[in-house]
């Protein structure tokens, strides 16, 4: 099987899940599309040089996360100005009100902490795997997780904790 055919097969299998991961990282669908296209392009170019293609999921996830962080680092040099006021409301419209609050609060978490939270609580990766994907140490992952959750709590405010306890009790 040629690399092009193998890549096409792999793309059809993984594109949606990777696009959703990118959406969780970026917070909007348009940026997530660009991010996933860049990541798949990098994978396509690097594919013939890959010694073994067993762990391609982890490799692609690593590309997505690192491309996202690199874009965030580069954002101050870009001509495009990102703004908080979106012209249209993305898929968050399907969320309930309390989850919408969580989603908006997640947007205020710094990029690396947000990437750590997404990898740990969406992909259910362990600390070591997250560290490998982000290219940092295990201790950094732990501290980023802790700081990310703390920032999220601060953003949500003490009222959210009370609300969450009421919802839990009602459920």
Partner 1 sequence: MLEDELKKTFEQLNIQPQPRTFGAVDIVYRGTAVKRRRRTYAVAATGTGTAVVAVVVAFVLNQPPNQDDNSPAGPPIPSSTPVPTSPSVTPDPGASSSAESPASTTPPTTTTRLGATTTATTSPMATTTRTTAPGAGVDTTFRSTGTQPVPTATSR
**Footprint on this chain of partner 1 (rule: CB under 8 A):** 4, 7-8, 11-12, 15-16, 19-20, 23-24, 29, 33, 37, 40-41, 44-45, 91-92, 94-96, 98-99, 102-103, 106, 117-118, 121-122, 149, 152-153, 156, 164
Residue 131 or 156 having the CB closest to partner 1:
156
The CB-of-127 to partner 1 minimum distance in angstroms stands at 14
The CB-of-19 to partner 1 minimum distance in angstroms stands at 7
Q: At 60, phi and psi to the nearest 5?
A: -65, -40
Cα–Cα distance measured from residue 13 to residue 48, given in angstroms and rounded to the nearest whole number: 19
Contact predicate 68/115, CB 8 Å: yes
**3-state secondary structure (DSSP) of residue 125:** coil
Residue 7 or 147 having the CB closest to partner 1:
7
The CB-of-85 to partner 1 minimum distance in angstroms stands at 20
Cα–Cα distance measured from residue 102 to residue 138, given in angstroms and rounded to the nearest whole number: 26
């Amino acid at each position: 099987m040629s690399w092009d055919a193998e890549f096409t097969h792999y793309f059809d299998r993984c594109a949606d899940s990777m696009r959703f991961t990118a959406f969780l990282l970026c917070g909007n669908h348009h940026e997530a599309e660009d991010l996933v296209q860049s990541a798949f392009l990098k994978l396509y170019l690097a594919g013939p040089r890959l010694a073994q293609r067993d762990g391609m999921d982890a490799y692609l996830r690593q590309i997505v996360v690192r491309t996202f962080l690199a874009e965030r680092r580069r954002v101050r040099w870009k001509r495009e100005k990102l703004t908080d006021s979106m012209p249209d409301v993305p898929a968050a419209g399907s969320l309930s009100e309390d989850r919408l609050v969580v989603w908006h609060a997640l947007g205020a978490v710094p990029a690396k902490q947000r990437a750590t939270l997404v990898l740990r609580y969406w992909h259910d990766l362990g600390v070591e795997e997250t560290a490998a994907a982000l290219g940092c140490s295990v201790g950094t992952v732990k501290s980023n997780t802790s700081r990310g959750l703390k920032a999220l709590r601060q953003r949500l405010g003490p009222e959210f904790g009370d609300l969450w306890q009421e919802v839990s009790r009602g459920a």
